[in-house]
């Protein structure tokens, strides 16, 4: 039997290789400036700002109100929303560090910390949604409500400006 939340699971499956690239780039960082994979750092930063943060905005706008309803109150998603705040903060920090590196002032240690932190938070965030929220929604949503949810998420992601 197909799960109503399969489109969200599919989206996570599509995003996961890009999320794993964050870890790969962190692992590639050497201690010398010539070991800096600048193009890959720039690509990770672009992915975060152009895709992942839009995904987070769509969750805030459409998914989390439904999860709040299913769990009995909007505060039920507060910790997940906090994950989004931290992902945005670290994404902005990565952009600054990447800019500094392009200008010849790389802080490899800080880049590594930010990349490892981003990967850990995003991977855990996806796991929490898939293991806690989505099974709950599979039990409580109707096909009509699920259809509206996905349409609202698509619209929110489409209309969210790239950060």
Is 48 a domain residue? yes
The token duo for 71 is 């769990």
Collapse the DSSP code of 160 into the 3-class scheme (helix H, G, I; strand E, B; otherwise coil) and give the result: coil
Is 1 a domain residue? no
Is 154 a domain residue? yes
Is 65 a domain residue? yes
pTM of the model: 0.91
Structural domain containing residue 146: 6-159
CA dihedral 127, 117, 17, 98 (to 10 degrees): 150
Taking the C-alpha atoms of residue 76 and residue 137, their distance in angstroms, rounded to an integer, is 13
**For residue 43, is pLDDT > 70?**
yes
Single out the residue of 112, 117, 122 nearest to residue 37, CA to CA. Answer: 112
The token duo for 34 is 């010539």
Is 95 a domain residue? yes
**For residue 163, is pLDDT > 80?**
no
Is 80 a domain residue? yes
Instruction: Check residues 59 and 158 and name the one with the higher pLDDT.
Output: 59
Is 90 a domain residue? yes
Taking the C-alpha atoms of residue 43 and residue 29, their distance in angstroms, rounded to an integer, is 15
Number of compact structural domains in the chain = 1
């Amino acid at each position: 039997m197909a799960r109503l939340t399969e489109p969200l699971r599919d989206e996570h499956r599509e995003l996961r290789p890009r999320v794993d690239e964050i870890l790969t780039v962190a692992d590639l960082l050497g201690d010398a400036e010539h070991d800096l994979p600048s193009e890959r750092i720039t690509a990770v930063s672009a992915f975060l700002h152009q895709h992942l943060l839009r995904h987070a905005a769509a969750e805030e706008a459409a998914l989390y109100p439904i999860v709040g309803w299913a769990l009995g109150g909007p505060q039920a998603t507060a910790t997940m929303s906090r994950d989004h705040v931290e992902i945005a903060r670290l994404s902005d920090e990565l952009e600054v560090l990447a800019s500094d590196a392009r200008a010849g002032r790389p802080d490899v240690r800080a880049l590594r910390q930010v990349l490892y932190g981003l990967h850990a938070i995003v991977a855990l965030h996806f796991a929490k949604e898939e293991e806690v929220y989505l099974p709950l929604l599979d039990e409580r949503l109707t096909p009509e409500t699920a259809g509206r949810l996905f349409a609202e998420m698509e619209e929110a992601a489409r209309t969210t400006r790239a950060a």
